[in-house]
Each structure stands twice: as C-alpha cells, then as structure tokens.
DNA sequence: ATTAGGG
DNA sequence: CCCTAAT
C-alpha cells in the first residue's frame, strides 16, 4: 500500500484541477465496479487520454486565436493553467482508499501497467472517440517513456466520464488543466523524456504533444522464477518465496533481451565508458525504460546495484600482484513481474532474488584473460597473471555454490512445474545458464602507479549501446499463476566459463614479429609461430596470431583510407601480401624443412 | 591440441 | 575475438 501510494504521489506531483470537468452522475459512475475498472483500465486510460486530447485541442484552439504557433498549445495550455490544481489528488487518493486489495490495484495504476497498457494502445486511436467530438482521423501516437501521469489522471477523468458522459465545454477557455509531469524512474536520460512526447495531429495541421509509447513493445514473458548455472539445473526455492504470485526471476538468453528494447542510440563517451561498469538493475516496462537508459546518476546506482561492492583491496610489494575489486555485480539477472506489480514489489522481488543468491552460497571463480582458471593450486604467475605480462585481466565471477548444481528441476519443488500442463512434468527442465556476476580487477604493474584500464571500461568502447550483461526487469501481463520454468533448449552462448577476452590490438612490433615468423614458417603453422615469436606473450594464442594474420592480409588488401586503428607500416603490409601470396602457392610441407624468407622473396619475383 | 574458416 | 568443425 505504501508503495502504491508512493507511486501515485509521484504521479501526481503536478496537480490537476478537476473541478471544471463536468462529471457523469454518481449513479453512472458507481456502475463501474472495481473489477470492471480493473479490467478496463486500459480503456479507461485511453478514454482519459482522449479527454486530455480533447482538452488540448480546445486549448489549442484558444491559443490559436492569439498565436499562430500552436505547436505546443497543449503543453502550454497545461502549464499556463495552474490555479486549479489539487482536487484531482484528493480524488485519486479516494480512489486508492476504495480499492479493495493491493493486488487488485484497480485505481492505483502502477507504472508498469500504465506504460505497457499505453503501449498496447499504440497509435491509430482516435483520441476524441468517446468524447462526443466530431473530429476524426487524429494520428494518435503513444510511445513508451512517460505515459504514467496521464494514466493517473486518466483514472480520475475516466471516473467522471464513464458511459461516455458528455462534457469537456461551452467556453473552453474556462478549462484549466495543468499538465502533469511525466514520471520517470531514476536514471532515465533526457533523451527518453524528450522522445516521450505524444503528437496528436489532426487534419487542421495543428497538433499538440502528449507522451508517446511505442506499441511494438508489447512482448511479455510468462512469469517465472528460475536460476541457472552451467547447463545444469539450479533451483533456489527461496527465490519463490514471496515472489511467486507477483514476481519472478528468469534467466534468458541474450537474444531474447533485445525484443523489447529500444533501438540503440548513441551516448556520450562518458556514458560509454561507464556503461558496463555501471550497468545494474534496470526497470524495463516492455520498451519503456531500458537498461541502456540508466546511464546517469552513477553514484546512486553504484550504491543500488553494487551487490557486493568495495570488496577487496590488496597491496603489493616486490613480485606481488596488487589489485582491487571495485565491485562485484550480478548483471545477468532477469526478473519478470506482472504488470500489476508495484514498484515496491518489484524492488522486493529483486532483493529476494539477490538475497537468495547470496544466502545459498556462492563461489568465486577466477578468470585470467577471460579464461577460467580451474586449478586452485596454480599460482598467479602460472596462470599468466604476472603483472609484467598481463595488465588488468584478472576477473572474478560469482557462481552458484557447487552443491546447487546438477539438480534436475523435475524433482523439485512443485512450484517449478507448470501446474496446468501435466505433460510438461515429465520433461526435464533446466534453468538457463547465465552469468551470475562478473567483475574486473585492477592489476597494477609492480613499481608502477599506472593503473590499467578496467577490462570492462575497455570493452565498453566495443559494446553497442544496447550491450548485454546487465540486469533487466521486464513486466509481464500474464497471469501470476502461469509460473513456469524455462525449458532448457540451447546451450548458453557464454557463461562465466568463457568471458570474452579483452581486446588488445597488436602493436606494430608484434605485427613485425608476426610477419617475420610467417615469412619464415609459412601460414598454417601458427603453433610454431606462437612458440617462435610469441611464447612470452601469454595473451596471444596461436589462434590470435592466425586471426591477426588474416586481418593483416585484409588490411593490406584494402586502401589505406579504409584502414583503421594504429597504422601498420606499408612496408610490413607489403611483406604480408608477399608472404600470403607465396605461401598460398607453396603450402608448407608437413614436417618438412621450412622455406626461409630469402627463398620466398626470390621466388616471389621482382614485383615484390 | 591445432588448424581453418565463418561470424 | 569468438565459435565450431575437422583433423
């Protein structure tokens, strides 16, 4: 209840005077039962928005008489009329008081519900329908972002206009409407606020602006709560406690995440830099608020989302490795809750999920160069973590405790099975594996205060704005009892076992060494190349060398203008092409003596 | 474990 | 760089 009140209050922090709106008779309004209104809440919202559209139009007409610029008539009309504020708040709170239970939430429309439902409504609706207005063909767009307040107002408006009670106007100038501010969750950047305006255009070339909500963002997931690890089932029954009716956690594959996400947008470099390290809990209302939206208010998110933060600080001397862990995160956490869930319950769901994870015990994995170090007996230097050679590539992962692995879900808790589908019971369900967490550690070279960029910071530049590896909360419109687990269908793309390695561009020196080796050994002997010229560079695998050669050949084949990155001397590129050409015609003999560079150059002819 | 090639 | 198939 408190949560809902809070939401509503936030919705209503701009007041709306309702006194000038004629109301339908009480008898009519009373006909709308609580359940009806809940079921028809979307319609109610839209009708209210319709009303607002009409009001806006009227205001616009008013404005149009004195100003030719009517673009923002709607908003201006709202903002210029302040004196009738207040009453709607009382009405809305009254509605709250009359709602029977928090779960019904008939009038306390949640943020999620608002946005999703408005998304559903989408465009193409006639905002004037139901208002008795003659206008037609309004292009009515609703895009996600901030329809919240309208909805809130809508309920009140709706209450007054049930049964299509005729209004919203002998003298439109008497209308005094204050435009409610859109309600946004913390961290939503301005771009979404800016784009969240709704444009209502009619045939008169005049239009007003509302808030928009994209209708393509309707995808919802079946509520479920699952936990995953290593292709083996990991069920945390604790996660269900208190969440099985209103929330869920599910691991999803990365592709699925994209379904309800805004198309990527460019962000400032600063945001890019921070993207990965700042990623955290994100509220996603089916396209409304996405993870990449949360790129500001860093400090706050640090405290909110750093599940384990400021964990370790180590110092070093001599040959010791020193590093610090800024934070440990749980980025791949998926949570689904019904759209009727309140923000408060959403928070609780996340909290329970995280708590369950921690309470059930986790183990720490160590990755070096993105590769898991399995042998606990290895020394850091043995794992290639000599700071002299490897800078900033020590990583940690949070994993489920080993005792949690290998448990098929079918033998678990009945909650885990779909209660309505007995055939499913016989299937073996697995919870998708996913990155429970990962972190980057700073490895500082001995005798140096120079910090190596965080792995995440570096890779952030490589990431698209809608990059993965973040927690996301989506909202589902499905029934709470549709609790389901995720059948294991496919191998997860990447788990903590195989974190992507940091990108480390080859230096010219390395390129030269590579060219020298290939000239001598030929292509196809990458292991030998590795051993010959890169044995001490543990982060360069023979596959890396092979790949680099491939890109070198490509680079040498394109025009200099098309090349990127640190320029490779043309002389080297020429040698690359020469070697490539030569070894294409002279496959290195297996176990045979290798051709040396002199021979190659000779046989390549004068064109070299 | 290596190599080759597509992504 | 990653992933996978083929050796």
Spatial contact of A192 and A98, defined as CB atoms under 8 Å apart: no
pTM, to two decimals: 0.43
Pairwise pLDDT comparison (A568 vs A449), residue with the higher score? A568
Q: Show the tokens assigned to A407.
A: 């448990």
All CATH 1.10.246.220 domain ranges of chain A, comma separated, are 508-604
Phi-psi region of A505 (alpha: psi -120 to 50; beta: other; left: phi over 0): beta
Give the best-scoring range by mean pLDDT among A6-10, A224-228, A516-520.
A516-520
**What does pLDDT average to over chain A?**
44
pLDDT confidence of residue A6: 35
Q: What is the DSSP string of A220-260?
A: -------EEETTEEE--HHHHTTTTTT-EE----HHHHGGG
The correct CATH number of A508-604 out of 1.10.246.220, 3.50.50.60, 1.10.3190.10, 1.10.287.90 is 1.10.246.220
pLDDT confidence of residue A559: 92
Using C1' positions and the CA of A495, the closest nucleotide is C2
**Locate tokens 């947008």: which residue?**
A265
pLDDT confidence of residue A591: 52
Give the best-scoring range by mean pLDDT among A130-139, A339-348, A357-366, A382-391.
A339-348
Spell out residues with C-beta < 7 A from strand C: A 370, 491, 493-494, 498, 500-504, 539, 543-544, 547, 550-551
Q: Which of A42, A67, A281 is nearest to A150 (CA)?
A: A42
Report CA(A524)–C1'(B1) in Å, whole number.
Answer: 14
Q: How many CB atoms lie within 10 A of CB A232?
A: 16
Report CA(A261)–C1'(C5) in Å, whole number.
Answer: 34
Report CA(A99)–C1'(B5) in Å, whole number.
Answer: 64
Spell out residues with C-beta < 7 A from strand B: A 523-528, 542-543, 546-547
Q: Is the pLDDT of residue A313 over 70?
A: no
Using C1' positions and the CA of A494, the closest nucleotide is C2
Q: Is the pLDDT of residue A56 over 90?
A: no
pLDDT confidence of residue A551: 94
Pairwise pLDDT comparison (A591 vs A341), residue with the higher score? A341
Using C1' positions and the CA of A505, the closest nucleotide is C1
pLDDT confidence of residue A217: 28
pLDDT confidence of residue A486: 41
Pairwise pLDDT comparison (A504 vs A486), residue with the higher score? A504
A392 Cβ contact partners less than 8 Å away, ≥ 6 residues apart: A440, A441, A442, A443, A451, A452, A453, A454, A455, A502
């Amino acid at each position: 209840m408190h949560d809902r009140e809070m939401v509503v209050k936030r919705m209503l922090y701009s007041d709306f005077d309702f006194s000038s709106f004629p109301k339908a008779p009480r008898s009519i309004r009373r006909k709308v039962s609580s359940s009806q209104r809940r079921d028809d809440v979307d319609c109610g919202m839209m009708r209210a928005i319709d009303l607002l559209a009409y009001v806006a139009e009227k205001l616009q007409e008013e404005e149009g008489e004195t100003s030719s610029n009517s673009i923002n008539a709607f908003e201006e009309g709202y903002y210029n009329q302040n004196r009738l504020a207040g009453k709607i708040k009382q009405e809305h709170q009254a509605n709250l008081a009359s709602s029977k239970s928090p779960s019904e939430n008939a009038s306390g429309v949640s943020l999620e519900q608002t946005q999703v439902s408005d998304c559903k409504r989408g465009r193409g609706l006639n905002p004037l329908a139901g208002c008795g207005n003659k206008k037609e063909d309004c292009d009515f767009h609703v895009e996600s972002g901030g329809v919240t307040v309208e909805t809130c107002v809508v309920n009140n408006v709706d209450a007054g206009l049930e049964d299509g009670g005729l209004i919203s106007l002998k003298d439109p100038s008497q209308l005094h409407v204050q435009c409610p501010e859109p309600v946004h969750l913390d961290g939503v950047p301005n771009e979404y606020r800016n784009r969240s305006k709704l444009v209502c255009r009619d045939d008169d070339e005049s239009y007003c602006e509302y808030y928009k909500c994209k209708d393509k963002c309707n995808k919802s997931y079946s509520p479920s709560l699952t936990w995953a690890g290593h292709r083996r089932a990991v069920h945390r029954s604790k996660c269900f406690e208190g969440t099985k009716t209103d929330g869920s956690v599910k691991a999803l594959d990365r592709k699925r995440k994209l379904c309800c996400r805004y198309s990527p947008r460019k962000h400032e470099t600063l945001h890019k830099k921070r993207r990965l390290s700042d990623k955290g809990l994100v509220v996603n209302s089916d396209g409304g608020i996405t993870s990449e939206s949360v790129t500001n208010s860093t400090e706050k998110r640090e405290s909110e989302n750093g599940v384990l933060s400021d964990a370790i600080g180590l110092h070093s001397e001599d040959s010791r490795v020193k590093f610090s862990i800024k934070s440990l995160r749980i980025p791949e956490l998926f949570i689904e809750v019904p759209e009727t869930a309140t923000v408060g319950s959403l928070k609780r769901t996340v909290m329970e999920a995280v708590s369950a994870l921690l309470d059930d015990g986790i183990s720490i994995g160590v990755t070096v160069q993105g590769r898991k170090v399995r042998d606990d007996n290895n020394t850091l230097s043995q794992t290639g973590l000599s700071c002299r050679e490897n800078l900033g590539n020590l990583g940690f992962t949070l994993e489920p405790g080993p005792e949690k692995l290998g448990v098929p879900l079918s033998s678990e808790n009945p909650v885990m099975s779909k209660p309505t589908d007995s055939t499913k019971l016989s299937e073996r369900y697995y919870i998708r594996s996913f990155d429970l967490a990962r972190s980057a550690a700073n490895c500082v070279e001995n005798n140096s205060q120079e910090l190596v960029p965080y792995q995440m910071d570096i890779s952030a530049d490589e990431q698209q704005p809608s990059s993965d590896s973040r927690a996301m909360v989506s909202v589902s419109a499905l029934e709470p009892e549709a609790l389901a687990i995720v059948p294991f269908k496919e191998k997860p793309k990447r788990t903590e076992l195989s974190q992507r390695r940091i990108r480390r561009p080859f230096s010219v020196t390395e390129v030269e060494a590579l060219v020298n080796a290939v000239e001598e050994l030929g292509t196809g002997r990458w292991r030998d190349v590795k051993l010959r010229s890169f044995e001490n560079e543990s982060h360069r695998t023979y596959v890396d060398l092979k790949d680099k050669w491939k890109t070198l050949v490509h680079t040498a084949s394109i025009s200099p203008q098309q090349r990127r990155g640190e320029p490779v001397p043309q002389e080297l590129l020429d040698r690359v092409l020469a070697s490539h050409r030569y070894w294409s015609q002279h496959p290195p003999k297996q176990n045979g003596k290798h051709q040396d560079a002199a021979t190659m150059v000779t046989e390549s002819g004068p064109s070299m």
